[in-house]
Chain A
């Protein structure tokens, strides 16, 4: 079982719709959770972080965390074509390096 799993996609939504991206993780002691956006040929860009159970909103983005279910999600409201990218879920480990463990990403396409 992979440590961090995401819907492989691809996911297509019409412009203006809500895009829902999901992620599960296996390490119960994980404390920090992140969503990165990666455009084709570019490096990942941090867009959201969440540490506590519940919702965290930032503009059109909402991250949701449920530690009991080991589940984290990202909602993108009023999706725009410019949101078309691969979205990576990452979990921070408790090892000495506090390294990030990434899922393989979900490719999102927002159709005009």
Chain B
């Protein structure tokens, strides 16, 4: 059983640019959640995708957007990057929109640095 994989592992972007981060779900999982973890903080929920549709969103502006594909892999897009977007971006997959009661397993994350 393959786990959650994310790419790239590290990324450096300039303020104002756009970035796309990618996540491949664990085999059989149809739900993907994205989190942002700033230095010294706990992860913050960005949004979740279930069967290719957004299924909940945290307190993030519209310049954070996402996609989920038919194979359940996912992208996180951030437009007009700001310095405060520098963080570790985490992806987690799960089975079912609400049925699971257990915790999520995260991918290894993408470290984004905005300069």
Contact = CB atoms under 8 A, between A and B. Distances in A.
Interface of A: 4, 31-32, 34, 36, 42-46, 49, 51, 88, 90, 92, 95-105
B103 A97 contact: no
A44 B56 contact: no
Contact of A103 (B42, B103, B109): B42
14 contacts: A32-B103, A43-B88, A44-B106, A46-B103, A95-B56, A96-B97, A97-B47, A97-B56, A98-B97, A98-B98, A98-B100, A99-B58, A100-B35, A105-B41
B41 A100 contact: no
A6 to B, nearest CB: 8
Interface residues of B, number: 28
B102 A102 contact: no
A90 B90 contact: no
Contacts of A105: 40-42
A31 B104 CA distance: 15
Contacts of B55: 96-97
Q: 3 shortest A-B CB distances, which residue pairs?
A: A97-B56, A102-B42, A97-B48
A103 B55 CA distance: 23
A96 B104 contact: no
A100 B104 contact: yes
A91 to B, nearest CB: 10
B104 to A, nearest CB: 6
Contact of B101 (A4, A31, A44): A31
B101 A100 contact: no
